[in-house]
Structure 1
Amino acid sequence: MEKVNPLKKITGFLHDEKGKISILDEKHVMGVWALFQFHITFISDEKEESSNQIWMNLITNEKSEFMKQQQNRIVYQSAPLYHYPIPTDLNMDEAFVIAYNKVKSDAEMEQKQRRQDQHLQKDIDRIETYYKDLLKENDRRTARKGLSEDKVKEIATKSEAIVMEMDKQLEEIKKKSYGHTEITLDHGIIYFVPILHYDIDISFRSERKRQTLYYNPITKQFDKGAENPAVIDGV
């Protein structure tokens, strides 16, 4: 990043910003990422297991898909080569909650797709058709002439029993298909990566604001940090 024009790259990244962009400060800092490896178990009539890896940027407290995709480019060292400062306070608890909620949301989406599975719907249709035919056949008996009051009650009781049995069968097949999901943290890893910290000034007409950017040499991408509210020159 130092060997190229950083302002050009920053301007390209902030292409939606109006006004003049200038660099106020540039310095080396230590970026920090947390890798959370989750184990997901879907339990129904069978057990299915999978995993989900979430990378969190602890400087910005946001998920980092680019870092996950580019993790093979990270060079590991047994001892640190750099001792740069960490530019902000880290909130590991909040990062974990964000990562966990993402995994939970993905698992719920997968479970929802299971409920929409065509094979399940075919089984539901088959059960409903079978018991509805039984109900129709049973209801035809009430149309017969000369039925006693006790016989009418017997037919009505049987209809209720058919409906209850249908609901029971539907509930069982849905439970087998829907199941429930268990999410556990398998392990976590903390990564320290040297990055570049930029304080940016953005001036548009009489307004100015400051924006913090972090340049990641692994992903070749910028991440936005803190943004100060706009101020009016001369006020």
Structure 2
Amino acid sequence: MKIGRIFHNGAVHFVQPDEPGFVRLPGGLVLAEDRVQWLPPVQAGTIFALGLNYADHAKELAFKAPEQPLVFLKGPNTLVGHNSLTPRPAEAAYMHYECELAVIIGRTARHVPRDQAYEYVAGYTVANDYAIRDYLENYYRPNLRVKNRDACTPLGPWFVPASDVPDPMNLTLTTSINGRETQRGNTRDMVFDIPWLVSWLSDIMTLSPGDIILTGTPEGLANVVAGDVVVTEIESVGRLVNTLATPATLYPDEASL
């Protein structure tokens, strides 16, 4: 059962898919999905992000696949919902999308054996973890300007329970820009799979319900500019739409600052 969150008429509501292009509130009200404000489908706790977790992507960037996970943390300010706008800095020469399977932790997890890891996963959603390549000083330690900018990580539209995704390690991921497919991969090509990551992270720190693991992106990155509509889609999980905008469009009151 897919569940989304929207803001409508001054309140937050949980919704489910209805007819294509529409969502249904618990009371039965049906709304067009492009007429509501989408929120990330879960209240996020700690956000873990993986770098170079697909061997083909590492090769694309002229790196070897890492021997240990390359993990960094992201702030909640980075998250926005489906059909949202993401600012694209005018001075940046290269900004790219990253279609990623997001793993949502459902139980407090500490020192979890790998063969029990899925018992701690509540479900999944789609993430688009934009990066601004200009500011990247080191792939192993991306700085704040690369990965922690406001609204740089669309998430959603749906939270999909783990029971509805029987094999999360065999899902097709795709990205398109303005209707043209630019990225295609499969979660089976992760360097470190979901059970490994849950086990490894829980040995370092306690994982809590609502924590999110962004599991990395396959090869096929391309520059995006203001006005581009970027669609990241994961088989059985969802189709996430995001549009790039100039900062002045999003923050007109700051234009004169």
If each structure's helix is expressed as a fraction of its own residues, which one has the higher value? 1
| TM-score of Structure 1 vs Structure 2, range by shorter chain | under 0.3
Length-normalised TM-score, structure 1: 0.24
In our comparison, the structure showing a higher alpha carbon Rg is 1
Greater RCO (Cα-Cα under 8 Å, separation 6 or more): 1
* TM-score normalised per structure 2: 0.23
